[in-house]
Amino acid sequence: MPANDKAARARASVTEQEALDFHSEGRPGKLEINPTKPMATQRDLSLAYSPGVAVPVKAIAADPATAYDYTTRGNMVAVISNGTAILGLGNLGALASKPVMEGKSVLFKRFADVDSIDLEVDTENVDEFINCVRFLGPSFGGINLEDIKAPECFIIESRLRELMDIPVFHDDQHGTAIIAAAGLINALELTGRDLKTTKLVCNGAGAAAIACVELIKAMGFNQDNIILCDTKGVIYQGRTEGMNQWKSAHAVKTTKRTLEEAMKGADVVFGLSQKGAFTEEMIRSMADKPIIFAMANPDPEITPEEVARIRDDAIMATGRSDYPNQVNNVLGFPYIFRGALDVRASQINDAMKIAAVHALANLAREDVPDDVAAAYQGNRPRFGAQYIIPVPFDPRLISAIPVAVAEAAMESGVARKNITNLAAYAAELSARRDPIAATTQGIYERVRRFPKRVVFAEAEEEQVMRAAISFCHQGLGTAILLGRDDVIRATAEKAGIDLDRPGIEIVNARLSNRVEAYIDHLYARLQRQGFLYRDVQRLIHNDRNHFAATMVAVGDADAMVTGTTRNYATALADVSRCIDAKPGHKVIGVSIVIARGRTIFVADTAVHDMPNAEDLADIAVEAARVAKRMGYEPRIAMLAYSTFGQPIGERSERVREAVKILDHRRVDFEYDGEMAADVALNPHRMEQYPFCRLSGTANVLVMPAIHSASISTRMLQELGASTVIGPLLVGLDKSVQITSMGAKDSDIVNMAAIAAYNAGT
């Protein structure tokens, strides 16, 4: 393989095969449809279909607005494309666009709880496309157009907005424009500039570029101070070559004819063109404190490193996630549609887009909450040159942008439903987003910013190697493969895995020059626990868990992941010989169960077999810490088979005693017990016990014994009724995670990322 091909593969975030595997494994694609009403009985069927369905049919026929009340229309967006401009790949056709459109639909659901379906329209004829979409209008509350080439995209969006009474939004245009405008507002603030006097050059005259120019003009930017350029140079009044009506609308009176001439003395430059479009001379010629938005993807017009070598006073944004200030459309479209749908808007107008711009800009100026600060390894980001645009995993986005959009829709007269209490609406929005998913994304982002050295203790296994490769590809840090070099390489070659890439290290426990240091360290720990020196030698030479855990204990690695080839208890016993509990903490296992929109923490699912009352109290305290770190206010139910003394049983007595212990400790979280699981989780059952201290259903369940914890979580997982993460190992002084035996490579990567994340706390 040529060296340049290897370098390209090393830079890639994923391999082509990994991408194909991701989309093909299990049920192909990224979407499925699930019913929201029970369909378990004959009565359910009668209500859902015949004869019951006739009632809402008649209601909608009498009043079409009630379709929002009786169907999915009010929370359904269609993502529609003809595949004429897919990503940066060009015109590959409608069918080829389907993976992208499915992904867009997933993002709608993931970030704003908007249901979405993708529709690929197999025509390049503008009139055919418009007619296809317009007649589908009754099915949806909004239309998100995507990956349609210019200038056809302008015609299509404009005509559909005239013909349809629901929002039509071409995200390639307006999504980029909204995020870029928000960043621009903050960059102008930081450099002391005024919107009306700032000089801006926009290189690129496609859909996104023209939308950017139109939006900032609508916000008050002086149109005489904006120069638009395309591949033929400046778009000036009187130019005829390569022109169309959309370019002509932004032609200016100027003697400048080239991008290089236009950028001399410019305050701001927007790049929506191609890699390398901005040269050193161009950047050097700009005004003091230049604002440079190089938004070409995947490679910007110029990189932040290149700009930093040229001048030290620039503020930069790009379209890439590995640089600060990413212009990422996911900051916009899910939330804009959320607000538009919730007021049943007939369109997304300039007032709504500008409201989204200011909401984003203002959010970047606010103090960053703990769950966002966690992504910066404790270095809390503050409004400034490196933070002018919020990050995608900021949980405040869903309660900030939709509210601003909805309010603007109501004030501008395009809303057909009024929201009178915007504060209550914001609180409702916050509850819609899954905090676990947000936290997981935050975990990955923080680890990318502060990569860690993670030991993969069972690296001779193929799925562990694949996990290690994925760990590196995702920019999470260095993967240390522990095992015999020849076996690892033979297995990798057979599986087609390329280990010769940056970020991969192979360590053989028998050949490492650190062996003696590890033996001495471990012997000092175990010599009074019945271990002879030669016993410790065997552990370090022959057992990878002991070698890896000692490696982490002495600081040669930040974290480790193991468990693929051994049961949890065995792996934990190995690790515990090398690493102690963190002072003041209890080592426990916490599983996170996500089911039907609820997230429940279950403890202890891994460590304590039959905990006594004191143990149960300690487990409750440790589980509460985990829940808080994940962004929850813990409400802990101390579970038993009995509820508040009925039926009477010896084992329930331990649970009651644990509650008394927590009373004496005066802990800062809600708890109560003993109670059965249905009382803890069902508000109607809980109402039968008005003296219960919990303010709502429990989100942390402390199990009376490991068997009940393990059986319940594993049963839920296998039945497919829920997603179970973990058990996460918490309470150790160093960061270790133990996977389940035979874990998939994706599961191992997740646990490695969590291990790396915990290594920073």
Which residues are catalytic, by number? 49, 104
Q: Which residues of 710-742 are buried (b: 16+ CB within 10 A; e: fewer)?
A: bebbeebbeeeebebbbbbbbbbebbbbbbbee
| Strand partners of residue 126 | none
Count the alpha carbons within 13 Å of 624 in the hemisphere toward its beta carbon.
20
Number of neighbours of residue 105 by Cβ within 10 angstroms: 22
The Cα-based distances of 11 to 112, 152, 726 in angstroms read 31, 35, 30
Q: In what order do the strands lie in the sheet with 588-595?
A: 670-675, 635-639, 700-702, 598-603, 588-595, 723-730
Listed residue (271, 316, 342) closest to 74, CA to CA: 342
| Tokens standing for residue 602 | 């279950």
| CA separation for the pair 600, 586 (Å, rounded) | 20
What DSSP letter does each residue of 28-40 carry, written as one string? SSS-----SS---
Q: Taken in order 192, 194, 199, 204, is the CA torsion positive or negative? A: positive
CA-closest candidate to residue 207, choices 248, 167, 163, 171: 171
434 in Cβ contact with 594 (< 8 Å): yes
Kindly compute the dihedral angle of the four CA atoms of residues 660, 661, 664, 668, in this order, to the nearest 10 degrees. -100
Instruction: Choose among 393, 399, 396: nearest CA to 427.
Output: 399
What letters, b where the CB count within 10 A reaches 16 and e where it falls short, cover 541-555? eeebbbbbbbbbbbe
What DSSP string runs through 240-251? -TT--HHHHTT-
CA torsion, ordered 293, 296, 301, 306, to nearest 10 deg? 70
DSSP assignments along 425-440, one per residue:
HHHHHHHHS-HHHHHH
Q: At what angle do helices 207-218 and 171-191 cross, to 10 degrees?
A: 50
Tell me the three state secondary structure of residue 13: coil
> How many residues are present in the chain?
761
